[in-house]
């Protein structure tokens, strides 16, 4: 018999399952998903954005091979392939004079697109869920804790890239401080996001265990 005041064995199992479902995506997996976008941000400039798009496209193709072999495809990976393929084709097919706006806003546009992809996925399935499911048993995928954890992580990543896009836009219209807006603050935000992705799920599990 279960002692008075203690949850039943089934209830204990449910609690353990819910706590286990707080597992988050492996940070390395999420970071690799963003790798093509980060490569583009680092390489892109008014004179190199075409090469940056090609480098990002190659990175997206290479990183997607394992998922393609498994028959799995993630929204972040699909967005990477489509966006950088379109950029590269535009660079080849369209006259440079018609792409001056793209030379100017390439990095801001890339960060804005990934922010829209991340935040837009909240309306369906948070994109981090697709990574988390690789390390969490299927029976936990529909638990409230699993969903809530990934919604928060997805919103956080979307916010980071949205802020980065806005900082890049601001950097185009100020006379000083562009290094802070283009590099220092975005890198600090990226590092903080990676650390939060590692810390938050562990914090949620610890709090759920009481």
Per-residue pLDDT of the chain (210 residues; tens, 9 = 90+): 333 333 333 433 444 444 445 555 656 678 888 999 999 998 888 888 899 999 999 999 998 877 777 777 789 999 999 999 999 999 899 888 888 888 899 999 999 999 999 999 999 999 999 988 888 889 989 999 999 999 999 999 999 999 999 999 999 999 888 999 999 999 999 999 999 999 998 898 888 787
Give which of 159, 81, 146 is closest to 118, Cα–Cα. Answer: 159
State both tokens at 45. Answer: 């400039």
- Considering Cα of 80, then 131, then 32, then 168, what sign does the dihedral take? positive
Cα 39 to Cα 41: distance, rounded to the nearest angstrom: 5
Angle at 68 between CA 130 and CA 40, to 5 degrees: 75
* Distances in whole angstroms, Cα of residue 28 to Cα of each of 31, 57, 65, 204: 5, 19, 16, 20
- Note whether 134 and 29 are within 8 A (CB): yes
Which of left, alpha, beta for 176 (phi over 0: left; psi -120 to 50: alpha)? Answer: beta
* pLDDT given for residue 24 in this prediction: 53
pLDDT recorded at residue 22: 54
Task: Give the total residue count for the chain.
Answer: 210
How much is the pLDDT for 26? 58
pLDDT at 63: 86
| pTM for the structure as a whole | 0.84
């Amino acid at each position: 018999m279960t002692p008075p005041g203690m949850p039943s064995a089934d209830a204990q199992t449910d609690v353990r399952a819910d706590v286990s479902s707080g597992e988050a995506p492996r940070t390395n997996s999420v970071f690799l998903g963003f790798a093509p976008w980060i490569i583009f941000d680092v390489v892109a400039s008014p004179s190199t954005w075409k090469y940056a798009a090609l480098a990002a496209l190659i990175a997206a193709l290479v990183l997607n091979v394992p998922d393609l072999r498994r028959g799995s495809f993630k929204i972040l990976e699909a967005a990477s392939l489509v966006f950088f393929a379109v950029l590269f084709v535009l660079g080849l097919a369209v006259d440079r004079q018609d792409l001056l706006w793209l030379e100017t806003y390439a990095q801001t546009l890339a960060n804005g697109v990934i922010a829209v992809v991340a935040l837009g996925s909240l309306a369906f399935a948070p994109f981090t869920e697709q990574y988390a499911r690789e390390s969490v048993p299927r029976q936990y995928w529909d638990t409230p804790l699993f969903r809530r954890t990934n919604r928060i992580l997805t919103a956080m990543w979307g916010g980071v890239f949205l802020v980065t896009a806005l900082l890049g836009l601001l950097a185009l219209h100020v006379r000083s401080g562009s290094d802070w807006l283009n590099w220092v603050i975005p890198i600090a935000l990226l590092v903080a996001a990676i650390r939060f992705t590692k810390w938050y799920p562990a914090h949620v599990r610890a709090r759920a265990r009481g």
